[in-house]
Amino acid sequence: LTWCLIMFAMMVGWHIWGTQNLSTETYRTTPDKFMAKVQAMVDKHTVRTETDEKTPVVAPPPGSDVYLLGQMWRWYPALELEEGVSYTLHLSSIDINHGFSLYPANINFQVMPGYDYGLVIKPNKPGEYRIVCNEFCGVNHHNMLGRIVVRPAKQVAQATSQGTPQTAQTLQMTPMPVQETTR
């Protein structure tokens, strides 16, 4: 129970991502080809599995192409990204249409089989993000969930950063007050 409360406290601090930089490129693909790319990434960069369903948590190298698969009824795999780093997030479905919806970053994207959508993303706030499906896709539509964890930027990077203005405050969209924890 304590852990749940801690997780909930973390949720309060979520901010939206650098959507001003959101750009997409669409490529043709096939479910087999896309699945192969997802699997190659999972094989190479899985850092742990999550207990319940042994979902791999994948930490791809900064700046790399990241593959996320929509399928009845999951988003696969879970991802662990780094704050302040750009990635190309490739989305596709291997069965029917799904709706990628990242909370609370408010990034929504229609995901269709046969197409690979490359979104350039740059997470600007560490924390846990949920992916839900917002396109009805069958009996378990409401349980089609996924997860992206954003790790804080490395200490070294913070020490050497040259005062880039922190825009996270103005982009904040959670109605609850930000929890300021100092440890």
Please tell me the distance from the alpha carbon of residue 4 to that of residue 15, in angstroms, as a whole number.
20
Q: Could you tell me which of 134, 100, 140 has the C-alpha nearest to residue 116?
A: 100
Question: Which residue, 21 or 106, is less far from ligand CUA as judged by CB?
Answer: 106
Compute φ and ψ for 94, nearest 5 degrees: -110, 5
For residues 66 and 137, which CB has a smaller minimum distance to ligand CUA in the complex?
137
In the complex with ligand CUA, which residue's Cβ is closer, 38 or 144?
144
State the minimum distance, in angstroms, from the CB of residue 104 to ligand CUA.
19
Q: How many other β-carbons are positioned within 10 Å of the β-carbon of residue 145?
A: 13
Residues that bind ligand CUA (CB under 6 A): 98, 133, 135-137, 141, 144
CB closer to ligand CUA, 69 vs 119:
69
CB of 77 to ligand CUA, least distance (A): 16
Side-chain half-sphere exposure of 13, counting CA atoms within 13 A: 15
Helices (H) and strands (E) in the chain, counts: 4, 12
- In the complex with ligand CUA, the residue whose CB is nearer, 79 or 137, is 137
Return the half-sphere exposure (C-beta side, CA atoms, 13 A cut-off) of residue 19: 15
In the numeric block, the tokens 């100092």 are attached to 182
Least Cβ distance, residue 103 to ligand CUA (angstroms): 14
Q: Which amino acid is at 137?
A: C
CB of 61 to ligand CUA, least distance (A): 28
CB of 67 to ligand CUA, least distance (A): 17
